[in-house]
Structure 1
Amino acid sequence: MLNLKQSLITAAGAAVLAIGSLAQASEYLVSTDWLEENLDRQDLRVIEVSVNPGVFERGHIPGAVNFRWHTDLVDTVSRDIIAGDDFQGLLQDAGISDDTEIVLYGDTNNWFAAWGAWIFDIYGVENVRLLDGGRSKWEAEGRPLSVRPSNYTAGNIEIGEPNLELRAFLPEVVEVARSENPEVDLVDIRSAAEYEGRVIAPEGVNELAVRAGHIPSAVNVSWGEAVAEDGTFKSADELREIYAAAGVDGSNPIITYCRIGERSSHTWFALSKILGFDVKNYDGSWTEYGNSVGVPVTNLAGTVWGGQ
Structure 2
Amino acid sequence: MTAPASDDPKTLVSTEWLDAHLKDPDLRIFDASWYLPDADRDARAEYEKGHIPGARFFDIDEISDQRSELPHMAPPVEKFMSRMRSMGVGDGHQVVVYDGSGIFSAARVWWLFRLMGQTNIAVLDGGLPKWLDDGFKVTANPPVIRDRHMTVTPQRHMVRDVTDVARAAKLGDHEVIDARAPARFRGDAPEPREGLRAGHIPGSKNVYYQDLLNEDGTMKPPNTLRTIFMDAGIDLQKPVITTCGSGVTAAILALALERIGKTDHSLYDGSWSEWGMYADLPIATGAP
**Which residues of structure 2 form unaligned runs of 5+?**
35-42
2:77 aligns with 84
What SS is found at the alignment partner of 2:279?
Answer: coil
Contact 1:209–1:288 (CA under 8 A) maintained in structure 2: no
- Once the 2 structures are TM-superposed, how far is the Cα of residue 23 of structure 1 from its aligned partner? 9.1
Matches within 5 A, 1:54-133: 54-72=45-63, 74-78=64-68, 79=70, 80-133=73-126
Answer whether contact 2:7 2:14 (CA < 8 A) is retained: no
Q: Quick one: distance in 2 between partners of 1:292 and 1:109? A: 33
Letter in 1 for 2:173: E
Structure with the bigger percentage of helix = 1
Deviation at 1:197, TM superposition (A): 0.6
Map of 2:201 onto structure 1: 215
4+ residue segments displaced more than 4 Å: 22-27
Return closer, same or farther for 1:25/1:268 CA change in 2, 3 Å cut-off. closer
Q: Is the 8 A contact 1:195 1:213 kept in 2?
A: yes
TM-aligned CA distance change 1:234 to 1:166, over 3 Å: same
SS of the aligned residue for 1:256 comes to strand
CA contact (8 A) 2:177 2:204 kept: yes
Distance in 1, Cα, partners of 2:260 & 2:125: 12
Contact map agreement 1:250 1:277 (CA 8 A) in 2? no
Aligned to 2:62, the other structure's residue is in SS state: helix
Listed as ranges, the gaps of 5+ residues in structure 1 are 1-21, 302-308
SS of residue paired to 1:255: strand
Distance 1:97-1:131 versus aligned 2 partners, 3 A rule: same
1:178 matches 2:178: no
Q: Using the TM superposition, name which of 33-42 and 103-112 deviates more.
A: 103-112
> 3-state SS of the aligned residue for 2:123?
strand
Query: d(CA) in 2 for partners of 1:274 and 1:139?
Result: 28
Verify: 1:279 aligned to 2:258, yes or no. no
Q: CA deviation at 1:275?
A: 3.0
Alignment map for 1:210-249 (pairs within 5 Å): 210-249=196-235
Letter matched to residue 238 of structure 2: N
CA shift, 1:164, in A, is: 1.6
**CA 43–71 in structure 1, closer or farther in 2 if over 3 Å, else same:** same
Higher gyration radius (CA): 1
Shift of the 27–53 alpha-carbon distance from structure 1 to 2, 3 Å rule, reads closer
Q: Normalising by structure 1, what TM-score? A: 0.83
SS in structure 2 of the partner of residue 125 of structure 1:
coil
What secondary structure sits across from 1:54 in the alignment?
helix
Distance 1:240 1:300 in 2: 24
CA contact (8 A) 1:200 1:208 kept: no
Q: What's the counterpart of residue 188 of structure 1?
A: 178
CA distance in 2 between partners of 1:209 and 1:260 (Å): 14
Shift of 1:98: 1.5
Instruction: Specify the alignment match of 1:200 in structure 2.
Output: 190
Instruction: Tell me the TM-score normalised to structure 2 length.
Output: 0.88
SS at match of 1:186: strand
Report the aligned-residue RMSD.
1.9
The AA in structure 2 aligned to 1:167 is V
Letter of the 2:256 counterpart: A
SS in 2 for 1:45: strand
Deviation at 1:283, TM superposition (A): 1.9
Structure 2 equivalent of residue 35 of structure 1: 18
Other-structure match for 1:163: 155
Cα deviation 1:153-199 (Å, max 9, x = unaligned): 11122213x212101110111123334xx111111111111011111
The aligned residue for residue 40 of structure 2 is none
Number of residues paired by the alignment? 272
Higher relative contact order (CA 8 A, sep 6+): 2
Residue 266 (str. 1) matches residue 252 (str. 2): yes
Residue 11 of structure 1 is matched in structure 2 by: none
Partner of 1:300: 286
Tell me, in whole angstroms, the C-alpha distance in 2 between the residues paired with 1:120 and 1:235: 23
Give, as a single letter, the amino acid of the residue that structure 2 aligns with 1:32.
Answer: T
- Distance in 1 between residues matched to 2:152 and 2:284, nearest whole Å: 40
CA distance 1:173–1:200, change in 2 (3 Å): farther
